[in-house]
Amino acid sequence: MTVPCPAWQFPTGLEERGPAEDPTILLTGVARLGNAAVQLVAIRINATLQWTPDFRHDVAEESYQVNGLGEALETALEDLQTVASELGDLLGDGGSGVVELATGHYRVCVMPGAVGS
């Protein structure tokens, strides 16, 4: 049986939320599922190590340490990998889930509410 789903409304672009030296490491935007606002979060990943943040080599490590950003990105990707693996085992593997944008390869997730907007 299929349950009807309200229509999705996606933003036409995502906001850069990373440090000034690498603003595209983290992108966010608000989408809507019916009447509910949800937060889209996109983390730029290493194209080879697909669950690893793509920290730029020309950016000082300290830039990613502001507000714990680097650690937060690493933890988020580890947690997403765990969830994806467990759901993949349960529901079947749905593919890589990597989205290629003009600024790199990203893992995109949907968070409840408009977090941090």
51-77 burial, b at 16+ Cβ within 10 Å, e below that, comes to bbbbbeeeeeeebbeeeebbeebbebb
**Distance (Å, rounded) from C-alpha 117 to C-alpha 23?**
16
- pLDDT of 95 reads 64
State the average pLDDT over residues 106-116: 81
CB 37 within 8 A of CB 110: no
Cβ(27)–Cβ(16) below 8 Å: yes
Segment 77-96 mean pLDDT: 83
Tell me the H-state helices in 1-117: 61-65, 69-91
For the entire predicted model, the pTM comes to 0.88
Of the chain, the percentage scoring pLDDT greater than 70 comes to 93
